[in-house]
Amino acid sequence: MAIDSYRFLDFASRQIMKAWAAREEPGAIPFTPLRKPLGECTVALVSPAAVARNDDVPFDQDGERRNPWWGDPSYRAIPFETLEGWRGWLALSLAGFPSLIGFFLPFSVLANRAIAQLPEGLSADYFAAGRNSLLLAGVTAAVTIVFAVFFGYAARVAKNAVTSGAARFASLGYALPGTVLAIGLFIPLAAFDNAIDGWMRQTFSFSTGLMLSGTLFAVTAALVIRFLAIAIGSIESGLARISPNLDAAGRALGASAFSIMLRVHLPMLVPALGAAALLVFVDAMKELPATLLLRPLGFDTLATHVYGLAAAERLEEATLGAVSIVLAGLLPVLLLHHTIAGGRTGARRGTGS
């Protein structure tokens, strides 16, 4: 269907506009080749199409007929609608059924057993495992954020194949199973410890023992490598929302790239940093294979505590630790969801549309 772009203009104005359009020489279509794979690009589609309700007030075409150089600048908001009666119950049932079967029923069974085992479950081993889990997850989240900021900011400041490839290589750990990563990390750490210990024995007749393998350093390194991809993705998304003009303005004022990062980018990255830290914290809390293989002797987390009780067929006693892991992972996620939903553009406030 042909579209008449001059339908509201008078005859003289129509002819003038068409004459001006005909005088323009067709030029080459501008094309900018992609400098990175399409999978790493953010693609946006802008369309003038819209969805209109039958009861929406139509746009003012009479005003455009009277003055063809004017257009109706108003917009039509899609109102929120509350389903009532059987439609509301049906929608609630369909939306809540997966959560009911996949989470609430299993969690209610675990919680019921955990409450029954509460006097026996609140032992010294349980509290020690809880403290160790919080310590390990907190240290892992902090170290991971530092490395993620380094890789993300390096890729922003120096856009080349080296920084981009380093960030992609650092993200490969998330694709590896925890057991494979733990064994792959344990072998070089053990070789380093044995080499240092052998040299110290020959030179000073003194044994250093295991300095890296079987320590918190090994566990933390494995968890950082495994979950670095999560933090890098969040940091890169946050940096992408910051205009490069801020970097240019800072450099024009004589600030270094490091100073701009500290004074401009990091304050603006607080939501992204918080999201990345929460996600890494939750994953580190429940990580079992890497922690089980690399932990120091006598160092139990909630995950290894539950695993040990379940392996010994003490399932009733393991329920309290399992519920604690679920709650420790659920509460930060709910907080993150509330923060993201509340800060989203167009988020509903009260009853306004």
Q: Please indicate, yes or no, if residue 211 is contained in any of the structural domains.
A: yes
How far is CA 309 from each of CA 12, 119, 194, 271, 326, rounded to the nearest angstrom?
89, 16, 33, 38, 17
Q: Please indicate, yes or no, if residue 72 is contained in any of the structural domains.
A: no
* Stretch 285-299: mean pLDDT: 85
pLDDT at 105 over 50: yes
Report which of residues 89 and 34 the model is more confident about. 89
* Stretch 22-48: mean pLDDT: 73
Q: Please indicate, yes or no, if residue 269 is contained in any of the structural domains.
A: yes
Q: Please indicate, yes or no, if residue 74 is contained in any of the structural domains.
A: no
Whichever domain contains 244, its CATH number is 1.10.3720.10
Whether the CA torsion 298, 304, 309, 312 is positive or negative: it is negative
Domain holding 273, by residue range, is 125-342
The answer to whether 119 and 260 are in contact (CB under 8 A) is no
With cut-offs at 50, 70 and 90, classify the pLDDT of residue 350. Answer: very low
Q: Please indicate, yes or no, if residue 114 is contained in any of the structural domains.
A: no
Report which of residues 66 and 318 the model is more confident about. 318
Q: How far apart are CA 177 and CA 187, in angstroms?
A: 16
**What pTM did the predictor assign?**
0.66
Residue of 298, 318, 299, 293 whose CA lies nearest to 307 = 318
The total number of structural domains that make up the chain = 1
- What's phi and psi for 192, nearest 5 deg? -65, -45
Q: Please indicate, yes or no, if residue 277 is contained in any of the structural domains.
A: yes
**b/e map 53-62, b = 16+ CB within 10 Å:** eeeeeeeeee
The answer to whether 108 and 192 are in contact (CB under 8 A) is no
Q: Please indicate, yes or no, if residue 200 is contained in any of the structural domains.
A: yes
pLDDT at 190 over 80: yes
Which residue type is seen at 206? F
Count of positions (residues) in the chain: 353
Report which of residues 50 and 85 the model is more confident about. 85
Q: Please indicate, yes or no, if residue 8 is contained in any of the structural domains.
A: no
